[in-house]
Structure 1
Amino acid sequence: MAEEGDVLTDLNSLPNGADNEPAAGLITQYVKDLSVENPNAPQSFQWQDQPQLDVQFNIGAEQVNEEIHEVELKIAVASKGEEGTAFLVELSYCGLVGMRNLPDEQAHAFLYAEAPRILFPFARRVIADAVRDAGFPPLMLEPIDFNALYLQQMQQRFAEQQAADEAPAGEA
């Protein structure tokens, strides 16, 4: 028999269906846009020079509704040599992220550091397959420390904000 103060009594005192614990997670992920170009085929397959790879990343987040955001990881890869461009791959890989009861700073960190970390291995596979399908050896992008990049970017913004706050006011 449960007595006053038992766990059963404490659980029964919670509002029915209350969900006030912080929660965040990936709901689904998908390719939003993929472009693969092999502009100099078939000549590019004969080139002997070592191409230079240019890899660009961009992370964005957009609110879908009160508890769901779309996180977009954009990756652009260009392989260029002395004779021209071998291939171009542009990928927009997205994930729907659900978040509830998170403080703003934790939600921001989840959207711009943790969610891209979760999405990256899947985007990396899409890039590798796209390059292979264009007729070249699969391109395996190096792992990225999204948490370190996020912290670096936040420190840079903080330093810029401090510099702007300390700048003397202009003369009128």
Structure 2
Amino acid sequence: MADENNQAATPSINILAQYTKDLSFENPGAPRSLQARDKAPNININVNVNANPLSEVDFDVVLTLEAKAQEDEKVVFATELVYGGVFRISGFPQEHMLPLLFIECPRLLFPFARQIIADVTRNGGFPPLMIDPIDFAQMFTQRMAEEQARAKVQSLNS
């Protein structure tokens, strides 16, 4: 019985499923956009993370990656990937849940999402877009600071 109690209290993160929720790729200037160019297009990348509880221990974490390549004002290509994972998280103190959901889970999903983006851009006729590693801890810290600032402004306006 003591072993069962120890196992239940042992912190664990398990990935139950990973999935592509939405994937789009646009190459509006094809086939002209595939011609050699003098300089690389400007590429803007946006990243977002959301998490929703499915049960007391299961959570759906969704990583959204958007990339848009532009040459002057013309879109060379645009892609968006919404990639999710269902995680079972147990044995952690409540105060660790937000960092787990918004730092650790997307960190585990990112390599797979990065590969999908690289493949879709390559399949679209361009060199594969290899997104640099993302500092999810810094993103989380920034998001928490923004939410605290927003809450402070709302309390001042009340």
TM-score range, shorter chain: 0.7 to 0.9
Q: How many residues align?
A: 155
Q: Which of residues 16, 32, 36 is equivalent to 1:43?
A: 32
Aligned-pair identity in percent equals 35
Between 1 and 2, higher relative CO (CA 8 Å, sep ≥ 6) is seen in 2
Q: One-letter code of the match for 2:128?
A: P
**Which segment drifts farther, 102-111 or 127-136?**
102-111
Residue 117 (structure 1) shift: 1.0
Question: Equivalent residue for 1:121?
Answer: 111
Q: One-letter code of the match for 2:93?
A: P
Per-residue deviation, residues 113-161 of structure 1 (Å, max 9, x unmatched): 1111111111111101110000000111111110122122223333443
Q: Distance in 2 between matches of 1:64 and 1:34?
A: 23
Residue 47 (structure 1) shift: 6.0
**Which segment drifts farther, 58-67 or 130-139?**
58-67
Question: Equivalent residue for 1:22?
Answer: 11
Q: TM-score, with normalisation over the residues of structure 1? A: 0.79
RMSD: 2.2
Q: 1:22-171 to 2 correspondence within 5 Å?
A: 22-46=11-35, 48=37, 49-82=39-72, 84-162=74-152, 164-165=154-155, 167=156
Could you say what secondary structure the match of 2:79 adopts?
strand
Q: TM-score, with normalisation over the residues of structure 2? A: 0.85
Q: Could you tell me which runs of 5 or more consecutive residues in structure 1 were left unpaired when the two chains were aligned.
A: 1-11
Deviating above 4 A after TM superposition, structure 1's stretches of 4 or more consecutive aligned residues are 162-165
Larger Rg: 1
Q: Distance in 2 between matches of 1:86 and 1:99?
A: 41
Q: Distance in 2 between matches of 1:21 and 1:168?
A: 44
